[in-house]
Amino acid sequence: MATVRSLFTTAAAMASVFLSAGAVQAQAPSYEQILEGARKEGRLFVAVSSPGTPQAHAAIAKAFNERFGLNITIEWNAANPVQTGTKLIAERGRAGGSVDVVGAGGAQEASVLFERQILKPYPWAEVFGKQFPQIEEVANRVMKDLRGAALPILDATYGIGWNPKLIKDEDVPNTWAELLKSEWRGRVAINAFSLNPLDYYSFALGKDETLKMAKATLDNKPVLERGTAAATRAISVGQAPVGLSAFHIAGRSEGVKFKLFSDFIPLNNLYIYVPESAPNPNAARLFAAWLTTEGITVANAQEPLPRAGDKGSPLADMIAERVKGGAKILTETSLEDTKQALSVRSAIADLMTR
């Protein structure tokens, strides 16, 4: 794993080189070339964690092949993007790679690969604009520092989940700060991984105040679980009446209601991306462009992949309502933000081991 300093200095230097319009245009193939290349390749190795069910994978594969008249065999492994990234780094320099499409990693996971040139910007709109008119707008949702190197697949949007069998809706706290009151001692389920997404609060409060919140949270003896999904499960089974959850996770969990906090909305953009070592690069590019535009409706019918940028969607409407009431969205808008979040996350992890 690269040091934070080398990661960001290298990424900044690379951005100035790879994002030049002339360089992108010179390398751009035609859509027809991509489609013919995909037909010849005939296979696709996908390592995307969400959607994660076999039923969703089968429905997406069927719709993809029917849309383009292909007969591509798609092998889908719902692997963690951190593990896949580590694998890609280990494969770097070898004759061929083993993964075509990776996800759903955030800026942290993507930037580690970007820094090593395992990911490079790609002219999505130029190649696929006629087939998928929305591809330019979708591609531009990615932070500027990584634009072209990834496409948005899902926004992990955090708030509070609760079990309505254990607590009345009107008694559910509206902010993280309210969860620090003594009445919630031992009654809140939270992700044990650096109290995710507390690091995002540093974008509004600064590092010192965020660490004070972390200490107060730990002093209140939360129910710590291995991941946000696990924390949501703890709410579902009644281990805790409330807890930190995410819109898409709560929506997939039986017996859990969800709302965004009224003051801050932590939002982690999750991406899919095609490594330069992809063994089937044409099929991979076509699949990534289709899945994040037309194909997102197919995926959503199986396993919701909410994105804040999809206007009129339940998540977009929920966010708009909160923002209208004064809530502030906390998200990474640059690799400097990613660097800050990493620093705060590390400090919270240190605090938890004391």
Encode pLDDT of 23-54 as tens digits. 344 468 999 999 999 999 999 999 999 998 99
Specify the DSSP element, H or E, that contains 136. Answer: helix 135-139
For residues 95 and 141, membership in a common domain is answered with yes
The string of pLDDT tens digits covering residues 293-344 is 999 999 999 988 999 999 999 999 999 999 999 999 999 999 999 999 999 9
Residue 273 placed within a domain: yes
Amino acid letter for position 5: R
Domain count, the chain: 2
Q: pTM for this structure?
A: 0.87
User: Which tokens sit at 247?
Assistant: 């819109």
The enclosing domain of 277 has a CATH number of: 3.40.190.10
Same domain, 63 and 188: no
The pLDDT value given to residue 96: 78
Identify whether residues 205 and 343 lie together within a single domain. yes
**136 & 20 share domain:** yes
131-186 pLDDT tens trace: 999 999 999 999 999 999 999 999 999 999 999 999 999 999 999 999 999 999 99
pLDDT for 27: 67
Q: Residue 239: inside a domain, yes or no? A: yes
Tens digit of each residue's pLDDT (9 = 90 or more) over 245-300:
999 999 999 999 999 999 999 999 999 999 999 999 999 999 999 999 999 999 99
CA-derived radius of gyration, the chain: 21
SS3 161: strand
Residues 197 and 336 in one domain: yes
Residues 178 and 219 in one domain: yes
* One domain, residues 71 and 190: no
Q: Measure the CA–CA gap between 245 and 258, rounded to whole angstroms.
A: 8
139 in the same domain as 61: yes
Q: Whole-angstrom Cα distance, residue 41 to residue 17?
A: 30
Q: Are residues 148 and 161 in the same domain?
A: no
Range of the domain at 73: 4-155+269-302
Q: Does a structural domain hold residue 307?
A: no
